Structure 1
């Protein structure tokens, strides 16, 4: 009998495409190529599919969880959707805790996969409160928290898959890697792999400018800093304003045909800034999800 892939088997191996119009004078005239890694092509629509499956599979392998158990996670969106998908495939009950200012599309996607959704007041602590609640529920015996913020299987997924893909797709020519910073799993895992292959590769993190509230880009209070994050793994940071990210999201769609989310656009802004400062560079940035899960926010109106 012919063997066919499952949903799990098609996570990863996402396309890497060249920006054609947006770079302008900072692109070909300077010898630069700017490449977008299209993580929205994953089955649940984001880069978080990789980490979600990794965290579940590795926990299973250690005997920490088994099908039928209840998993709990605090999320701002993409990890929750990815975990809901992976939990459905692997046979777990999924409880997701999320601030109530998340878009309708993200909430609907989670419940479509069968997850139970707990919304917390965005003005009463936001993600920090959601993380605390998840841990409290675990201490009360209500389920197991995978904890994307401290779980080494999060960056491990990107060290083992995303990083090698980018290295292969650029034939080892990548000079700069740019990523939004949320849990920091992507930038930690990919950056670690790329630096092992070539220590000269520069790792650039997109962070929110003062007052910006960009889904997927965070600057955590010290007490909530993800423990998987190592400051030594990032060479430079680019502050991204709300207006810059939202404008770039519209431009990516209208000028490049890349319909990505707001944090993806923030990474694009950072990548173009890098291009303006260098020559003969191969710059890769992560388009971490799809823009259709932000339609109700009005960003694309």
Structure 2
């Protein structure tokens, strides 16, 4: 048996039991592994459905351009379908999204425009607004608008919901889904509740998003909105695809818990899933007291871990945000083992001769250069030698005329691996900034001393 094109392989994704993370839950917990779709995410389903409905309605015409605001996965599904069907794609996304997602879209030949995250949806710079403007400007274009296009929910009503019902032989008691556009939870949840109204549908939200409070109070509270790191779930507005009547409750999960659970799913279950899976499982664990023996829970694993290699699967990224603390040495622990010495600097307005005298007196080869107390560069023996060989008269000139780029800055949570990588021929040290804005310095000697201590 073979398929006529890659689009025919969308759907029929497996259910896999979780065993280790959920061992303290009396219920059976199954993950719906949507990473087996050809675009490695559940968004393949709704992307194709939106295109098919638009073709049928005459909104999308031959040779047209698909323009959409996307966090990456919907764009992947649209781009894949566009290749098969002969359309062009332009996508807008936010600077919060992982580089891997943007690179993947470009790999499919799509044009990608990255927009700022921390602006209102109505702001002309937002990825919603930019995509709407492009739709008006580009001839023969169509914007799917995954948030308000009900073909999104329809895809999951027709496909995802029936698959889950059949795979669980109608025994499912709870559906747990991270909510972004709302299409998955609303479509699949609607189908399952029609089959059995007793099924509970739980939506996982993130802090900084409006869904939970709106469900509980009917109030869209702008004070609930603030930037968050978690990808793929949460919104600062109410998409039409979110059917609050279908969703029984929302549970909020922190960025930290979502990120660490994403990592745990790979390490403890052997499933390489994305950030929204981490949120969904973390939310389920917060709600575990509402489950009992005999319950059958299905959790949607939306996308693949390869799209988060620079984030949730990067230990330095986790440490820099204070999400991960382990036994590996960090800038903070290296400084704790270091002898406390006053950091010597030279002001950028001092003369080169004065800097030479300071370096000679202290027997040091490099020195940070400051301007009004802020580090703005560094001065090394090599910089001085090259400058004076070319023009000996420069020794009376200010340091700022020959200084080079400053030492790299790191924060207290930066790992010893990253610090070591930053120390090279050009940089004999790194600068560490603490929460108060004060700085210290770490040299290769300090690293060796910390390891051997």
| TM-score by shorter chain over 0.5 | yes
* Gap change, CA 1:127 and 1:262, over 3 Å in 2: farther
Q: What is aligned with 2:7?
A: 8
Provide TM-score, normalisation by structure 2. 0.62
Q: Whole-Å Cα distance in 1 between the matches of residues 122 and 185 of structure 2? A: 20
Matched, 1:290 2:304: yes
| Deviation by residue 1:246-296 (Cα, 9 ceiling, x = unmatched) | 111111000000111111111111223333322121000100000111001
Matched, 1:70 2:65: yes
Decide which structure has the larger Cα Rg and report it.
Answer: 2
Matched, 1:25 2:24: yes
Deviation at 1:125, TM superposition (A): 4.4
Task: Give the gaps of 5 or more residues in structure 1.
Answer: none
Contact 1:183 1:226 in 2 (8 A): yes
Q: How does 1:127-142 map to 2 (within 5 A)?
A: 129-142=126-139
Which of 103, 111, 116 is residue 108 of structure 1 equivalent to? 103
Contact 1:120 1:126 in 2 (8 A): no
Say which is worse superposed, 189-198 or 84-93, in terms of deviation: 84-93
Say which is worse superposed, 272-281 or 250-259, in terms of deviation: 272-281
Q: Whole-Å Cα distance in 2 between the matches of residues 15 and 3 of structure 1? A: 19
Which of 269, 272, 275 is residue 288 of structure 2 equivalent to? 275
Deviation at 1:147, TM superposition (A): 0.6
Q: What is aligned with 1:234?
A: 247
* Gap change, CA 1:80 and 1:21, over 3 Å in 2: same
Say which is worse superposed, 33-42 or 204-213, in terms of deviation: 204-213
Q: What is aligned with 2:150?
A: 152
The higher relative CO (CA closer than 8 Å, separation ≥ 6) is in 1
Which of 257, 263, 266 is residue 253 of structure 1 equivalent to? 266
Q: What is aligned with 2:211?
A: none
Say which is worse superposed, 116-125 or 61-70, in terms of deviation: 116-125
Equivalences, count: 293
* Gap change, CA 1:3 and 1:240, over 3 Å in 2: closer
- Which structure dedicates a bigger proportion of its chain to helix? 1
Q: Whole-Å Cα distance in 1 between the matches of residues 255 and 2 of structure 2? A: 47
| Deviation by residue 1:37-76 (Cα, 9 ceiling, x = unmatched) | 0001100110000000000111111222123101100011
Q: How does 1:114-125 map to 2 (within 5 A)?
A: 114-125=109-120
Q: What is aligned with 2:230?
A: 214
Say which is worse superposed, 37-46 or 117-126, in terms of deviation: 117-126
Q: What is aligned with 1:53?
A: 48
Contact 2:96 2:229 in 1 (8 A): no
For the aligned residue pairs, the C-alpha RMSD in angstroms reads 1.7
Deviation at 1:3, TM superposition (A): 5.8
Q: What is aligned with 2:89?
A: 94
Q: What is aligned with 2:187?
A: 189
Deviation at 1:144, TM superposition (A): 1.2
Task: Give the gaps of 5 or more residues in structure 2.
Answer: 209-225, 316-453
Provide TM-score, normalisation by structure 1. 0.93
Contact 2:205 2:251 in 1 (8 A): yes
Q: How does 1:31-42 map to 2 (within 5 A)?
A: 32-42=27-37
Which of 278, 290, 294 is residue 265 of structure 1 equivalent to? 278
Deviation at 1:24, TM superposition (A): 1.7
